[in-house]
Chain A
Amino acid sequence: MSKNKSEYLINRHDNQYEVVIGLEVHAQVTSASKLFSTSATKFGAEPNTQVSLVDAAFPGMLPVINEYCVKQAIKTGIGLKAKINKRSVFDRKNYFYADLPQGYQISQFKDPIVGEGKVILDMPDGQKEVGIERLHLEQDAGKSIHDLDPKNTFVDLNRSGVALMEIVSKPDLRSPDEVNVYIKKLRSIMRYLGTCDGNMQEGSLRADVNISVRKKGSKEFGTRCEIKNVNSIKFMQMAIEYEANRQVDLIEDGQMIDQETRLFDTKKNETRSMRSKEDAHDYRYFPDPDLLPLEVSDDFIENLKSEIPELPDEKKKRFIEKFKLSPYEANILVSDIETSNYFENVIKKSDVKLATNWIIGELFAALNEKNLEITESPISPGNLSKLINLIKDGTISGKIAKTVFEQMMEGDKDPKKIVEEKGLKQESDPKALEALIDKVIDDNRDKAIEYNSGKVKLFGFFVGQVMKVSGGKANPQLVNEILKKKL
């Protein structure tokens, strides 16, 4: 590994190798119905309950494009700052498989709906731009289930025909970390746009990973291998580590790398050959004669542009400029739309600095501990902002606030009520505090004498005693002031 932290290099003998990675991300379009049929797309339904005659490729059935999916793809293209192609063409990708009812997948080959774009990554040592080659719309296949019966394969066509966006990056990624940040950024953008929920457990986001290695400084690309259908960021990173090292070993051994398609075995943590270039399918792409070329007008695109919300990069910029957040804080708060929404709701009525600290600190830790998403937070943004205001106006101390917060986590209770019910209100009445302090000094005469004879460290002891006797409710600032006078 290289000494420069951000640079991912593989060292063998005297050689340093750079890893070149490009991703083909398959993102399921968020839409109620499929790309070319009206069947539902809900995840987790009973097998074969969301299948129309079109999805099952019955004789004489014809595809009809779902306009909403087209809009979603264009919005995503806008989010990727990409060129939107006003004319695109659906092609048939022909191959036989039991879960591909038509015997072809409708995809876009030569003329995709979205052209070149870019994604900005925030890496520890600065920003990095990753190029987007294209985005196209295509149908998903069904699902073959091989492990329910020793002899037969079962097929579930619920997924057959669901709209996918294939987002192809340029070979601009150089490390597993960059892949991690890239996928998260892509997912964040699509979630802001509402075009893909990015749920990797449900298969809404998966990727084919193209990897090659080359000696550091070389401008030529090495021979690449494609690792098919990896469905988690962790597995992508593991697969890249394994595959890059495998390729380096081959080169160091004087061998050639075969251009091939490989599979990542998550149990053995290794990639293995699926098919070589010679065995590659001939998909016989040709324009689907059942569908006319897809043409969209400038107005159509402009209307969609007007629907695009503020995206993470712009939001981050605004948070830094307007709220004086650090880039680190801003990054965390804009990383997903729900967090930034939560933050913006809290600061509608409370202090930005305190809100930032409480969300990034206490709230994230508490949610993490309970394994909850921000959308599942027991504390509503409104109540968190009330809590912050109680701190800000001196009603409770920061320390008491933590106790109140813990109780709020048990159920979304109004912090004011908790403070009242439990009598947690800060004691700021000077007379009451004086009485309290007099008693503490009386009870600790000897310590008071020591203090006055120069043992000033004992001041802290008296503050602690006062806080203890008050049950933590004494206003620390006033306690300090009065103690100084009385001692």
Chain B
Amino acid sequence: MLDITKQSLSELVENIKNKKLSSSEATKAFVERSEKSKELNAYITEDYANALNKAKTFDEKPNLDLKLPGIPMAVKDLFCTKDLRTTAGSKILNNFVPTYESTVTQNIWNEGAILMGKLNCDEFAMGSSNETSFFGNVQNPIDKNLVPGGSSGGSSSAVAAQLTPITIGTDTGGSIRQPASFTGTVGLKPTYGSCSRYGIVAFASSLDQAGPMAQNVKDCALLQEVISTYDEKDSTSIDFKRNEYSKELTKDIKGKKIGIPKEYRVDGMPKEIEDLWKKGIEYAKDCGAEIIDISLPHTNYALPTYYIVAPAEASSNLARYDGVKYGFRAEGENLIDMYEKTRSEGFGAEVQRRIMIGTYVLSSGYYDAYYLKAQKVRKLIKNDFDDAYKKVDAILTPSTPSSAFKIGEKTNDPVSMYLNDIFTVPVNLAGLPGISIPAGHDAKGYPLGLQIIGKAFDEQNILNIAYAMEEKINFKNNINDWWIK
């Protein structure tokens, strides 16, 4: 049989269901590869012994009707996992062990999957390169000293390096799609309200959304089918009819209208990206789709809007990390002193920067000029998409304005770092689903991704388009296991 860790999720599921493979064998293979891959620093917390035990238990009485029977899986360390440390990549939660499970991960375990460990990420998901994690940089398996993207950088690295057959990330402004693009993998940000936020460490509540990260579109569809459920514990969860995304997946996208927004041709966009986009358009045509030029006039304002709304919510969401109840506490002379020391020492620079921005834009005297205006612009951005979807079924754009960059290349230039999110952020602001699929390589041989944006609740449609294009693109990741000695 083919090397176990080289198998896709769908193959693993099939082999376990056909009893060609046991959960223990699969788990052991991924654990061993993970252990050999410490240099990638993809994991924050490993739970291998428990994973192997759970696999053994599964094999004793395997329930093969489940969707993820005995499949080992590591998840982003933003999901609270019962009895396993959950840090959100921050010193302030360095010692935090939840007594509860997030809805999304619970859905995954309910379908038979087994937790291997928690994956690295930017601190509180604030970053585009995984460099803000308290637990250190993550290496991109594509090349040494290359960032894996962020904030779900541990997740993208682990999937690309096949340390886990599949994983979940969270996406507030591009944190699933951008790292997927940087690592030659597939990442889906579902419609806001599709996946429950219960038990996910919050960054920006009105934008955060969990989603699958996979090696291919089919795996991605299967995991989306598992994690997307209506949840009464999340007041923003939406009760809509969810498809069986993997079963209903089809490559037949004939006649689908795909929009190309002219505003995404941003100044200074590398020719490689422009070329990739053109190629993508050709692939879509080859699949039988109809290409239509569209306009999303407020695209230019999306990034500044995002960098007001997200920090504003974050500044409030992160107020609970005060050293009083759980997590890290620095001793102080009095309550205020304790707060100041705890939060100065417990939060990293990027998180502190965003808390300060958020506090500023909500302050009296600035609220109207920043937060309120940003909310109005957000509405305009959403209206742009609503108008566009009167003419098209989906929108095709590049996922990022560049390929992966070197570790340290942008750390001193937050604005250039923020610009990485330029194509992904509007999708979060509008609450829409978006998927990034690998579509080619740049001159350095680094992967580049294309993004397909759908109508709200229309995950099936963008998965289908991605599925059809994936076949035409026939992307191959060049990973030579450089980190394995």
Contact = CB atoms under 8 A, between A and B. Distances in A.
B199 to A, nearest CB: 4
A155 B335 CA distance: 13
B362 A102 contact: no
Interface residues of B, number: 43
Interface band, chain A: 20 to 34
Nearest to A57: B320
Contact of B319 (A56, A65, A102): A102
Interface stretch (A206-214, A286-294, A296-304): A286-294
Interface in B206-236: 206, 232-236
Contacts of A53: 99-100
Nearest to A291: B235
Interface stretch (A91-99, A327-335, A470-478): A91-99
A291 B206 CA distance: 9
A323 interface: no
Among A64, A104, A155, A284, the most chain B Cβ lie within 10 Å of the Cβ of: A284
Contacts of A98: 324, 335
Contacts of B318: 103
Interface string B70-94: 0000000001100000101000010
Interface stretch (B363-371, B397-405, B460-468): B363-371
A60 B201 contact: yes
A51 B251 CA distance: 51
A102 B320 contact: yes
Contacts of A286: 312, 316, 362, 367, 371
A153 interface: yes
Contacts of B86: 59
A222 interface: no
A284 B359 CA distance: 8
A94 B319 contact: yes
A101 interface: yes
A485 B475 CA distance: 128
5 contacts: A57-B325, A59-B80, A104-B319, A286-B312, A290-B205
The CB with the most chain A CB atoms within 10 A, among B86, B201, B312, B322, is that of B322
Contact of B235 (A57, A64, A284, A285): A64
B136 interface: no
B436 to A, nearest CB: 25
B478 interface: no
Given A59-B98, A153-B335, A94 B197 contact: no
A148 to B, nearest CB: 16
A62 interface: yes
B94 to A, nearest CB: 13
Contacts of A64: 232-235
A282 interface: yes
B198 A103 contact: no
B197 A62 contact: yes
B258 interface: no
Interface in A311-368: none
B389 interface: no
B96 interface: yes
A58 interface: yes
Nearest to A281: B364
A289 B80 CA distance: 20
B198 A62 contact: yes
B324 A284 contact: no
Given A284-B363, A286-B371, A290-B236, A59 B339 contact: no
A84 to B, nearest CB: 21
Contacts of A382: none
A285 B96 CA distance: 29
B287 interface: no
B118 to A, nearest CB: 13
B482 interface: no
A378 interface: no
A59 B93 contact: yes
A64 B234 CA distance: 7
Given A92-B316, A286-B367, A292-B235, A60 B200 contact: yes
A94 B316 contact: yes
B202 interface: yes
Nearest to A56: B325
A289 B429 CA distance: 13
B96 A59 contact: yes
Nearest to A90: B235
Nearest to B101: A60
A58 B199 CA distance: 9
A111 to B, nearest CB: 14
A101 B233 contact: no
A203 interface: no
A290 to B, nearest CB: 5
Contacts of B324: 98, 101, 155
B305 to A, nearest CB: 14
A153 B202 CA distance: 28
Contacts of B320: 57, 59, 101-103
A59 B88 contact: yes
A291 B234 CA distance: 9
B313 interface: yes
Contacts of B319: 94, 96, 102-104
B8 interface: no
A63 interface: yes
B371 A59 contact: no
A96 B339 CA distance: 9
Interface in A14-68: 53, 56-65
B484 to A, nearest CB: 35
B295 interface: no
Interface string B313-344: 10110111010111000000001000100000
